[in-house]
Each structure stands twice: as C-alpha cells, then as structure tokens.
Amino acid sequence: MNLGTIGMWTSYRAIGEQNAHEAARLVETLGYGTFWLGGSPKLPAVQPLLDATETLVVATGILNVWQNKPAEVAAAHAELTRLHPGRLLLGIGIGHPEATSDYSRPLSTMRAFLDGLDSAETPVPREERCLAALRPKMLELSAERARGAHTYFVPVEHTRSTRELFGPGPLLAPELACVLDQNADRARATARRYAATYLGLRNYTSNLLRFGFTEADIADGGSDRLIDAIVPHGSAQDIAAVARAHLDAGADHVCLQPVGIAGVPSDEWTALAAALL
C-alpha cells in the first residue's frame, strides 16, 4: 500500500456526502496518494470513495473505538479489501474525553480493540491499520500494534519528537490544516474558527503545552504564534513549505486539510497539488 507523500484530509460534513465520487476522483486525478475521510466515519462510508477511483488509497481519520465493534469492523474491512485490495488504511482512534461519557483507560481500551481485530474471522493486518496518537504511550502502541501513527493538530516539533521516539520504520502521517488566503487577518480568523473546537479538548491542549506553547497561547482563540504554527495560512507555496518542514522533521506522509471552504475545495486542492506534487 503506497500512501504517497501527500494526501488530502476532509470529511463528509465539509464536502457533502453526495460529492464523494467527485471529490475522490479529483484527489486521484491531481496526484495525491491518499484520501483521508475524517469525522469519525463508519467503515462502509469509505466505499463510494474507493468505488470512484482506481489507485487512490482511502484512510479513515479516524474510526472511533467507542462507536464500533472490532468484529464488525474487521468484517467490513475484509469485504472492502476484497473489492479494492491494497487501497484501504484503517485509521483508528480513541476520541476525546469530552465527547464520550464512558471514556476511560484509553490504552487498555485501544489494546482490547486491536485484540478484537486480530482475533476476528478475517483479521485486519497490522500493516493496514494506524492509530491516532499524540502522547508517547499511544505512539509506542501505534508502532507496536499497527503500521504507525496518524497525528492531528500538531506543530512540526511534535513530528520531530515522534520520529525520534519511533526511529526508522513506523508510519508517521500528520494532518496539516491550512488556510489558502494571503490576507493574514482574514486567514487567522478562519483558522481560529476551525481551531476553536480543538482548543477546547484537553488531549490537544495538553499536547501543545508539551511543545513550547503556554496557557496564554491557548487562551482567547489562540495566539498568532500558535495559530500560525498549527493552521498555517498564505499561498499554496507557503503551505507547501510547512508540509515540507513536517517531512524534513520525519513525517512519511502529510495529509493536508484546507479549512474554511464550503463544499469540495477544488481550487485549493488544485493549487496545493501544483505546489507539492
């Protein structure tokens, strides 16, 4: 399974599920390696993306362990990979304490979910799954029990630290939200609207505090310094420079997420492809 160096990350909430075929074909035609479907999708939701394309890898970003049963996920994975061999990466995540009433023991819960995938009638191969991870213990589990890690809402320093923890081998695929707008004030306002959710979730904020940001950076919608590091703005070339910084820091694959656009962001995807591919 070749993810390519650059992928696109979006959700049906952003682009509209009715636009799945159009969006997937565009991502494949532009030369991106992987289409990341976010928004905690159920696994059957990726089938329209696979059906519409021929070589594109489709990844879940992420399938939530609290909302799915391992045996059912493994069965769906087996059917989809039968139809589209070598093109489905199962991104799995534990979600957020604020969003799950029975959230507890995340590492134990993730291990149990992976055990379920391994013991299913048709197991999900280790190389066809990755884990959403931020902190060292979950990152270590992603390297031990999966292909590697999908990180989200992270600065370049987190990518560098994770590669040092991993060493060579395990997949490291950070998401990079961005705003293609060269008006700095307007772009930062767009970025802050996107970032507001994540700056209210303690797994993300505690991670930012580990990488040089302060409570003052997190407060009041995020300082310019924090916003510019996590949700860069500017031209396609400006965004490409940050994506390359993640790659230089040890990422194998960067999944870009232009934000602040209603519907399929065709112009933004096309501009970023011209700058990066």
Paired with 266 in beta bridges are: none
Opening angle at CA 175, ends 223 and 16, nearest 5: 100
pLDDT tens-digit readout, 129-167:
999 999 999 999 999 999 999 999 999 999 999 999 999
Question: Shortest CA distance to 23 belongs to which of 39, 3, 7, 42?
Answer: 7
Q: For position 104, what pLDDT does the model report? A: 72
Structure tokens at 229: 């590091």
pLDDT-derived band of residue 101, with 50, 70 and 90 as boundaries?
Answer: low
Q: pLDDT by residue (tens digit) across 171-202? A: 999 999 999 999 999 999 999 999 999 999 99
233: pLDDT strictly greater than 80: yes
Q: Kindly list the distances between the CA atom of residue 257 and the CA atoms of 34, 35, 83, 115, 165, in Å, as whole numbers in the listed order.
A: 12, 11, 28, 31, 26
Q: What is the pLDDT of residues 32-52, one digit of tens each?
A: 999 999 999 999 999 999 999
Calculate the CA dihedral of residues 38, 44, 45, 46 and round it to 10 degrees: 70
Give the rounded percent of residues in the chain with a pLDDT score beyond 70. 97
Q: Are 249 and 211 in contact (CB under 8 A)?
A: no
pLDDT at 172: 99
Whole-structure pTM value: 0.97
Q: Does 98 have pLDDT greater than 70?
A: no
| Token pair in block for residue 190 | 């767009």
CATH number for domain 6-174+250-276, candidates 3.10.580.10, 3.30.565.10, 3.30.70.360, 3.20.20.30: 3.20.20.30
The pLDDT confidence band at residue 97, using thresholds 50, 70 and 90, is low
Rounded Cα distance between 257 and 212, Å, is: 24
Start-to-end CA distance of the chain, whole Å, equals 19
Count Cβ atoms within 10 A of the Cβ of residue 100 and give its class: 0-12 exposed, 13-18 middle, 19 or more buried. Answer: middle
